Amino acid sequence: MKNILVTGGTGYIGSHTTVELIGQGFEVIIIDNLYNSEAEVIDRIHKITGIRPHLEVLDLCNQEKLDAFIKKHKDISAIIHFAAYKAVGESVNEPLKYYRNNLLSLINILGVMKLYGIPNLVFSSSCTVYGQPEKLPVTEDSPLQPATSPYGNTKQIGEVIIKDTTHSNENIKAISLRYFNPIGAHPSSLIGELPRGVPENLVPYLTQTGYGIREELKVFGNDYDTPDGSCIRDYLHVVDLAKAHVVAVKRLIENKNKKNYEVFNLGTGNGVSVLEAIRSFERVSGVKLKYRIVGRRPGDIEKIWADPSFANSELGWKTLSSLDEAMKTAWEWEKVVRSNKL
Ligand code: UFG
C-beta neighbour count of 259 within 10 angstroms: 10
Distance 312 CA to ligand 1 centre (A): 25
Q: Ligand 1 pocket: which of 142, 183, 202, 303 to mutate (most atoms <8 Å of CB)?
A: 202
Tens-place pLDDT, residues 214-243: 999 999 999 999 999 999 999 999 999 999
Mean pLDDT, rounded, for 62-70:
98
Q: What is the mean pLDDT of residues 66-74?
A: 95
Q: What percent of the chain has pLDDT over 70?
A: 100
Q: Does 341 have pLDDT greater than 90? A: no
**148 or 235, which is more confident:** 235
Using alpha carbons, select from 275, 270, 265 the residue that is nearest to residue 323.
270
* 292 three-state secondary structure: strand
We find that the CATH architecture of domain 3-184+234-266 is 3-Layer(aba) Sandwich (3.40)
Label residue 167 by pLDDT band (50, 70, 90): very high
pLDDT average, residue stretch 65-70: 98
What is the pLDDT averaged over residues 164-185? 97
Residue 196: the pLDDT is: 87
Query: To 5 degrees, how large is the angle CA 149–CA 153–CA 151?
Result: 55
Give the pLDDT confidence score for residue 337 in this predicted structure: 94
Q: What is the DSSP string of 216-239?
A: -EEEE-S-SSSTTSS-EE-EEEHH
Q: Is the pLDDT of residue 1 over 90?
A: no
Average pLDDT, the chain: 97
CA distance 282 to 202: 14
Give ∠ CA 87-92-97 in degrees, rounded to 5. 70
Rounded distance, CA 268 to CA 14, Å? 20
* Shortest-distance atom of ligand 1 to CA 178: 35
Ligand 1 centroid to 136 CA: how many Å? 18
127 CA: nearest ligand 1 atom: 35
Under the banding of pLDDT at 50, 70 and 90, the label for residue 125 is very high
Q: Give, using CA atoms, the residue closest to atom 5 of ligand 1.
A: 202
Using 50, 70 and 90 to split pLDDT, how confident is the model at 213?
very high
Cβ atoms 20, 53 nearer than 8 A: no
Give the β-pairing of 272-273 and 232-233. Answer: antiparallel
Q: Which atom of ligand 1 is nearest to the CA of 304?
A: 23
The alpha carbon dihedral of 182, 204, 89, 8 has a sign of negative
Distance CA 249, CA 268 (A): 20
CA distances from 208 to 51, 148, 190, 216, 298 (A): 31, 28, 17, 9, 23
What whole-number distance in Å separates Cα of residue 41 and Cα of residue 46? Answer: 9
- What's the alpha-carbon Rg for the chain, to the nearest Å? 19
- Compute, in angstroms, the gap from residue 122 CA to the centroid of ligand 1: 24
Region 143-151: mean pLDDT is 94
291 is catalytic: no
Q: Does the pLDDT value for residue 74 go beyond 90?
A: no
CATH topology of domain 202-233+269-338: UDP-galactose 4-epimerase; domain 1 (3.90.25)
Beta strands in 131-215 (DSSP E): 173-179, 181-183
Break the chain into its structural domains and give their ranges.
3-184+234-266, 202-233+269-338
Q: How far apart are CA 36 and CA 259, in angstroms?
A: 34
Q: How confident is the model at residue 323 (pLDDT cuts 50, 70, 90)?
A: very high
Choice from 220, 230, 305 to test ligand 1 binding pocket (greatest atom count within 8 A of CB): 220
Which of 85, 98, 130, 151 does the annotation list as catalytic?
151
